[in-house]
Amino acid sequence: MSDSMTGKVALVTGGASGIGRAAAIAFARAGAKVVISDVDTSGGAETIDLIGDAASRAIFVKTDVSQAADVEELMRRAATQWGRLDYAFNNAGIQGEVNTTADCSEENWDRIVGINLKGVWLCMKFAIPHMLRGGGGAIVNTASNFGLVGSSGMPAYSASKHGVVGLTKTAALEYAKSGIRVNAVCPGPTQTPLVDKVISSQPELGSQITESILSRLPVGRWGRAEEIAAAVVWLCSDAASFVTGAALPVDGGYVTQ
């Protein structure tokens, strides 16, 4: 897919690390100019530096995707920086606290849903008008394998990701005839700084958590951020021109069980 996106502009939220960073680099290597957003400015700067090696231009815009004004400004910058907006990877998200449904706090619920679900809706709300003016585009939203099946101890996270899948399908139907394709990628357990942080925060359970996750993965290993990024770039590319409304598991076979 080298240079297949030359002249196009891609937006990546949550681009300061992990899957977002890998996707930003992958878009750049495919020839696109990239607008990266995150609340982590230092991580965003690191991603920009890495994209420099891909011989493509990129900018960073600090954004809290749960805030409408932030997202509206992000999309304005993305669409005006190089005169167009072709792709949007709405990836910013958090896991939040691990607790049962009865013990999940209202604060935890609101924060997770505000970023993971409302944030994706806001990004589409403000990106779609720019894409319509440009004649079309492609959107990929980050859901999760837990947006397809339940996850004990993660009620808000799983609900938010199921919501992303439903929102994706709805927008895909609404804009199919307008030249905008909307899909979701559903990553399984992926080795990222977010996962490392969760495991390291519970050192006494770290190895147990890792073994439990691996035991449920048919392929027997963690996913890599670059593997998720490859699926995202493919979904945005012309190679996926007949794909819209899909929730694509990239999860080592987890949800096939």
For residue 142, how many C-alpha atoms fall within 13 Å in the half-sphere facing its CB? Answer: 26
From 218, 223, 141, 227, select the one nearest 184 (Cα to Cα).
141
Given 87, 157, 175, 254, the catalytic residue: 157
User: What letter does residue 69 receive in the DSSP assignment?
Assistant: H
175 is catalytic: no
| Spatial CA neighbour of 95 closest among 118, 76, 111 | 111
Helices (H), the chain: 18-29, 41-52, 68-81, 106-113, 119-133, 155-175, 193-200, 206-215, 225-236
Q: Is 152 left (phi over 0), alpha (psi -120 to 50) or beta?
A: beta
Burial of 19 (C-beta count, 10 Å sphere; 0-12/13-18/19+) = buried
Active site amino acids: 157
